[in-house]
Structure 1
Amino acid sequence: MSAIPPPLSNSPIVAAFVARTPGSAAAYAKAREIFPGGVTHDTRYVRPHPLAIARAAGARKWDVDGNEYVDYFGGHGALILGHAHPEVAARIAEQAAKGTHYGASHPLELRWGELVRELVPSAEMVRFTNSGTEATLMALRLARAATGRPKLLRLRGHFHGWHDHMAFGVTNHFDGTPTPGVLEGLASNVVLADPNDAAGLVALLEEHGPEIAAAILEPTGSTYGQVPLRPDFVRLLREETAKRGILLIFDEVVTGFRVALGGAQQALGIRPDLTTLAKILAGGLPGGAVVGRRDVMELLDPERAAARGIEKIPHQGTFNANPLSAAAGVATLEILKSTDAIARAHAHAAQLREGMNAVLAEAGVPWAVYGTHTGFHVFTNPRGLPGIGPRSFDPFAFGYEDLKVPRGAQAPTKLALAMRVHGADIMPWPGGTVSAAHGPAELDRTLEAFRRSVRMLRDEGEIR
């Protein structure tokens, strides 16, 4: 059962946040009458209330009270170029004037698909969807149809959207039991493995291999590397699945066009059978895709499927390759291809991680900031593990039970609220993603916000 976070009572941090954000509080009071929990995405749920944002530009955003924040939500990771990039915005406006939905094929989808095929190593063919969740659902259906097998191998803690095959074993139900509304019979066809446990992985494949259609994973680790995967483990999974006729699916919804121009598969030098994409793919608008081996993707082709004597997989989607999403996606991918935007985002994230660890070291706090590429994660040591320090922390030495924030932990929530009080908005992991729009001014402001937030948490007894 999911635990409801306890109220954050008698907290100066909460009081400061509430005093600063009356407009957001009022918006949340109205939202609770309209939306379950007062939010439209689980990650936005936070006590005492979430932020209500009025506008955003570059690496910054402003709430309805006029407070300014350096942003590390980045559109849930979709905005590698930052908010309202002028070229992307111009392309969207140009397309909107021509029409928002043709209900037909159009030239922009061709250019979009060509760019994806050019940039992603495994993309022999492309099928656009409306979201990352839809992409992983389609990838799984393709794998089952291609292999004739019923089961799916997943790694504990890895997130692949909210459809039924993925709705457990992410933040809870690590024993594989279904969450509410998910059929037991469906959950029983999902095999969960521990990340980085090579021996355990091979044993599971030996036991279930003939029934497994696909293995799916976040290739840099769950939550963009909060629980990082060893590259050797990913290579082992590629070798073992190939030997057994199991399709390997890289979920690059987050890592695609962020870890490298060709995604994590380019950086790792590993070619999956199928890849799922979203977020950056559509330049901050709704959109996703499944890409991969031609022989598998042709299961969606009525003529090729008929020629092979099999029934095609049906696939609709009102907004598949929507012209507005295509315009934003084409603009974003062309900019990433022709500039050093990804490298700049990587460099800024490295500076941010180093600076935040310097703050922790200076204050003698037994936490650490870690991550790779454009991400950062703040390990708040919720279980009080000994020997933790910002200069010596090795996330590979810990399992998902240690690195994932336990439900009900107050320090991460208070840290996020304190950062908002001081003008920076981080994800509730706690952590975030960096864009190419972040620069020296954002770095300085974020480090000062972190320094002040650490002091506030220490004053409240959350840091010992």
Structure 2
Amino acid sequence: MALDAPTNSTIIAEYRDRTRRSAEQAEAARSVFPSGITHDARHLSPYPITVDQGKGSRKWDIDGNEYVDYFGGHGALLLGHCHPRVTAAVKEALDDGTQFAASTTREYRWGKAVIGMVPSVERVRFTASGTEATLLALRLARAYTGRSKLLRFTSYFHGWHDHMTNGYSSHFDGTPTAGVLPSIAADVVLVAPNDIEGAKAALAGGDIAAVIIEPTGASFGRVPIADGVLQALREATAATGTILIFDEVISGFRCSPGGAQQAYGVTPDLTTMAKIVAGGLPGGAVGGRADILERIDFEAAADKGFEKIAHPGTFNANPVSAAAGIAALDIIATSDACDRANAYAAELRERLNRLLKATGMPFAAYGTFSGFHLFLNVEKRSIDPVTFDPFSVPWKELKASPANLVDRIRIAMMINGVDLSGWPGGLASAAHTEDDMAVTMKAFEAAIARLKEEPDL
């Protein structure tokens, strides 16, 4: 939809009236950025809001509208916006300098914090993003095993580099996405979510270097993980000499201070991290077994006669990101931040389902830990939101999110002061309060009423 295209939607009409400056900014941004955005998840029709300030659980757009924020910095803000300790640490680091092209005491403290919290991590290497972390983890696994292939589960997202693009939201047959070489796609083995027998069969060939999985299920549980899958994968990979990688870019330090692996009691060989690990600033990491991480160790390579993996990176362990990470991880390790976020999300899911049932809206809310997802029921199944079981429907239905419907849901919530992610759903933080819950429930009730009146849904 064009920014100013005629509409018979009262939801869009009210949104445009409330966000005139965002509309102007979006139009200007289109002359600078493709689609006017810098991240695919920020795409919204007719245009996204522009936000310049956040505090705690709230954020404000440039029109002055206030939102309870469940986007949560794409998952990075377990502690909310501008936590005072994190902000103070960042300001102190900025005064010292932003880039020294040298080792720092902050990077050491940051790395020690990660090792102390995450069960699988004996050594750690910092990167600039989660995508870089999964790329490095895969390269480490290939170098360590001498094998070429990667096993992934369809519907899972592990970054945007070439080995991770097909089978996430398209190309479920394993063919390469645009711009990816067929030879790279051919080295990626796709298995259906929770298909442990299919995974075991693939591993039996002996040519798979690594299995990568988000331990909470795809998209932080939007396609949930079945009981026993992680344990079975741990056993199967150990038996075949395959590296097990847990992608904890979202779940790390969120499910528990030690991530999903601590919560589930399953220890992988490698763990990829980002978002919370850098306290809401840019940064990522790969951690795991020392004998695997030594593949980027100069002395180990010389002593043992293997070719070292080169790993430069201008912003690896950037001192400002390190400062934010140190502060955030200390708060998480010494407080009940994870428990508070998890409890808030559980209560929100329960209240949403009671509301959906009472209003006759054929959706359902589900999830685990601090996440919530909306099942949009595109096949119009007869469901009871209160007792809805996400394992009762195919995973493709769980991820079915018609753009027109999702955008309308998000906009209906925004005009009532709540910003959801585009799943649709969101992430709770330790900063969310009972007042936020009240605003959210009032917004959902108003949004449901408005959605029922929309002529084209």
Within the candidate set 435, 448, 455, 2:449 is matched to 455
1:437 maps to which of 406, 431, 449: 431
Using the TM superposition, give the Cα deviation of residue 387 of structure 1 relative to its aligned residue in structure 2, in angstroms. 2.4
Structure 1 position 202, deviation (Å): 2.4
What residue in structure 1 maps to residue 390 of structure 2?
Answer: 395
Shift of 1:405: 2.3
Show the counterpart of 2:49: 51
* SS, match of residue 329 in structure 1: helix
Gapped runs of 5+ residues in structure 2?
none
Task: State the one-letter code of the partner of 2:407.
Answer: T
Give the 5 Å matches for 1:232-271.
232-271=228-267
Structure 1 residue 410: Cα displacement:
2.3
Q: Is the 8 A contact 1:148 1:213 kept in 2?
A: yes
Matched with 2:409 is 415
Which residue of 275, 294, 304 maps to 1:279?
275
State how 1:218-367 maps to structure 2 within 5 Å: 218-367=214-363
User: Relative to structure 1, is the Cα distance of residues 354 and 462 closer, same or farther in structure 2, using a 3 angstrom cutoff?
Assistant: farther
In structure 2, the residue matched to 1:405 is: 400
The residue identity in structure 1 corresponding to 2:373 is: H
Which residue of 47, 65, 68 maps to 2:66? Answer: 68
Which string of whole-angstrom CA distances, capped at 9 and with x for unpartnered residues, describes residues 53-79 of structure 1?
A: 021100000000000000001110000
1:100-119 equivalence runs, <5 A = 100-119=98-117
Classify the secondary structure of the residue corresponding to 1:213: strand
For structure 1, the 5+ residue unaligned runs are none
User: Which residue does the alignment assign to 1:12?
Assistant: 10
1:8–1:14 Cα contact (<8 Å) kept = no
Kindly provide the amino acid, as one letter, of the partner of residue 232 in structure 1. Answer: G
RMSD of aligned Cα (Å): 1.4
Q: Which range moved further: 8-17 or 314-323? A: 8-17
Figure out how many residues of one structure are paired with residues of the other and give that number: 454
Q: For residues 13-32 of structure 1, what are the structure 2 equivalents within 5 Å?
A: 13-32=11-30
8 Å CA contact retained: 2:215, 2:225: yes
Preserved CA contact (<8 Å) 2:247 2:271: yes
Higher mean alpha-carbon deviation, 326-335 vs 352-361, is at 352-361
Give the whole-Å Cα distance in 1 for the aligned partners of 2:228 and 2:391.
Answer: 12
Partner of 2:419: 425
Contact persistence 1:59–1:71 (CA under 8 A) = yes
* Identity level (%): 53
The CA distance in 1 between the partners of 2:79 and 2:376, in whole Å, is: 29
Q: State the SS of the aligned residue for 1:231.
A: coil
Q: Deviations over 1:27-84 (max 9, x none)?
A: 0000101001110000001110001002110000000000000000111000000000
Matches within 5 A, 1:105-254: 105-206=103-204, 209-254=205-250
Q: Deviations over 1:150-197 (max 9, x none)?
A: 000000010010000011111111111111110000000000000112
Q: Is the 8 A contact 1:80 1:436 kept in 2?
A: yes
1:411 touches 1:457 (CA, 8 Å); kept in 2? no
2:40 counterpart residue number:
42
**For residue 370 of structure 1, what is the aligned residue in structure 2?**
366
Query: Relative to 1, partners in 2 of residues 1:355 and 1:106: Cα closer, same or farther, differing over 3 Å?
Result: same
Letter of the structure 2 residue corresponding to residue 372 of structure 1: T
CA distance in 2, matches of 1:197, 1:60: 40
| Distance in 2 (alpha carbons) for counterparts of 1:461 and 1:34 | 34
Contact 2:8 2:455 in 1 (8 A): no
Which letter maps to 1:401?
K
- Whether contact under 8 Å (2:9, 2:455) holds in the other structure is no
Measured after TM superposition, the shift of residue 462 of structure 1 is 7.1
Deviation, 1:398, is 2.2
Moved more, 228-237 or 110-119: 228-237
CA distance in structure 2 between the partners assigned to 1:457 and 1:382 by the alignment: 15
2:131 and 2:161 in contact (8 A); partners too: yes
CA contact (8 A) 1:8 1:410 kept: no
Give the one of 81, 84, 87 matched to 1:83: 81
